[in-house]
DNA sequence: CTGAATGCAAAGACTTTGCATCAGC
DNA sequence: GCTGATGCAAAGTCTTTGCATTCAG
């Protein structure tokens, strides 16, 4: 991890994309979405660039249970989701709750929490009432 | 999702394994560890069985950032980890902190949190002191 | 100018699927 | 006995790597 950042067109494009979509994208998705702008962009370059950008702390990587890791800019406000394991509906989770947890952890462990997108699996109210077992 | 469970030798062996190791294993690891006991066990059967067991809520699946999902029995006490994004060291996270969060969430959203293995990414104390930027 | 980044092609790892056979209930 | 599970083989998807070329600083 070094301080200066070598800014190539591929990396620039990836950063731009992540900054403008405000979404979590997989490497494959990033590649697909840049095909028009940079037709020559190779998938392996996308993988290498994403790795580089994560290493240099310009983007974050997290796992939403999609199978592949997803990437997003750090600029986005930390935000968190509840995902119902039964009906797969997604709910926003009040980040106050999570901030609380994170600051407690940082106090206790002297570690900086870098997860800025937490996903918790739940059985939502709706599904609970439909299913006695939960 | 149905109520009765068809208990085959493959599924029995997988459950046994997960119950005895108390670890989170990937499909590949499960397969490797069962090779001796069940030499004929096919990898695709392992995948299908794990999926089946998750569907029937006999085991849980989570993601530790290893690249593949990991499986564990539900019997294991909920427990949580901090993983350093820099040195990849793993720390146990006091589950009191997390229980707190979960019960607040359950109150507010009337949803049952089923995540029983939370993984938070951090920069650990050690790595922070080595690197001014964090 | 020089080392690092890229494209390309190939290999590698993990996972899924179709189909014939086998086994649990 | 019937339905669903398994083994096998093959294909599919995602990711990584080696090497020659190109590019940013």
DSSP string, A85-132: TTT--EEEE-HHHHHHHHHHHHHHH--EE---EEEEEEE-HHHHHH-T
Q: Is residue B86 scored above 70 in pLDDT? A: no
- How much is the mean pLDDT over chain B? 83
- The residue of chain A nearest to residue B82, with distances taken between CA atoms, is A113
How distant, in Å, are the alpha carbons of A21, A72, A75 from that of A17? 6, 9, 13
- Which positions on strand D lie below 7 Å from a protein C-beta? 4-10, 14-18, 23-25
What H or E segment, with its residue span, contains residue B10? helix B9-21
> Which has more pLDDT, A52 or B57?
A52
> Which pLDDT score, from 0 to 100, does residue A10 have?
94
DSSP conformation class of B75:
T
> Which pLDDT score, from 0 to 100, does residue A65 have?
66
Q: What is the Cα–Cα distance from A64 to A23, expressed in whole angstroms?
A: 12
Q: What is the pTM of this model?
A: 0.72
| Average pLDDT rounded to a whole number, residues B39-68 | 88
Residue B48 distance to chain A (closest CA, Å): 16
CB contact set of A37 (below 8 Å; sequence gap of 6+): A13
| Average pLDDT rounded to a whole number, residues B106-129 | 82
Q: Is residue B10 scored above 90 in pLDDT? A: yes
A20 touches strand C (CB under 7 A): no
Q: Is residue B133 scored above 50 in pLDDT? A: no
> Which pLDDT score, from 0 to 100, does residue A2 have?
46
> Which pLDDT score, from 0 to 100, does residue A132 have?
45
DSSP lists the bridge partners of residue B90 as: B83
> Which has more pLDDT, B82 or A132?
B82
> Which pLDDT score, from 0 to 100, does residue B106 have?
93
DSSP lists the bridge partners of residue B82 as: B91, B120
> Which pLDDT score, from 0 to 100, does residue A89 have?
67
Cβ pair A112, B122 in contact under 8 A: yes
How distant, in Å, are the alpha carbons of A120, B22, B39 from that of A89? 12, 31, 41
**A47-82 pLDDT per residue, tens:** 999 999 998 888 988 776 677 888 988 766 667 878
Supply the angle between the helices A27-34 and A43-55 in degrees, to the nearest 10.
120
SS3 A74: coil
Q: Is residue B132 scored above 70 in pLDDT? A: no
Low-confidence ranges of chain A (pLDDT < 70): 1-4, 64-65, 75-78, 85-90, 130-134
- Kindly state the tokens that stand for B80: 């949580």
Cβ pair B91, A118 in contact under 8 A: no
Q: What is the Cα–Cα distance from B50 to B59, expressed in whole angstroms?
A: 8
Q: Is residue B124 scored above 60 in pLDDT? A: yes
Test B109 with A120 for CB contact under 8 angstroms.
Answer: no
With beta carbons under 8 A apart, name residues in chain A contacting B101.
Answer: 97-98, 100-101
| Average pLDDT rounded to a whole number, residues B93-103 | 90
């Amino acid at each position: 991890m070094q301080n200066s950042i070598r800014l190539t067109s591929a990396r620039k494009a990836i950063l731009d994309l992540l900054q403008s979509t405000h979404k979590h994208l997989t490497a494959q998705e990033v590649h697909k979405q840049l095909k028009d702008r940079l037709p020559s962009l190779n998938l392996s370059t996308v993988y290498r660039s994403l790795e580089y950008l994560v290493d240099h702390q310009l983007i974050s990587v997290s796992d939403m249970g999609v199978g592949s890791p997803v990437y997003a800019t750090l600029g986005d406000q930390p935000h968190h989701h509840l995902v119902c394991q039964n009906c797969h509906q997604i709910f926003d989770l009040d980040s106050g709750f999570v901030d609380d947890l994170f600051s407690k952890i940082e106090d206790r462990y002297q570690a900086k929490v870098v997860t800025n997108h937490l996903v918790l699996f739940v059985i939502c109210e709706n599904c609970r009432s439909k299913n006695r077992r939960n």
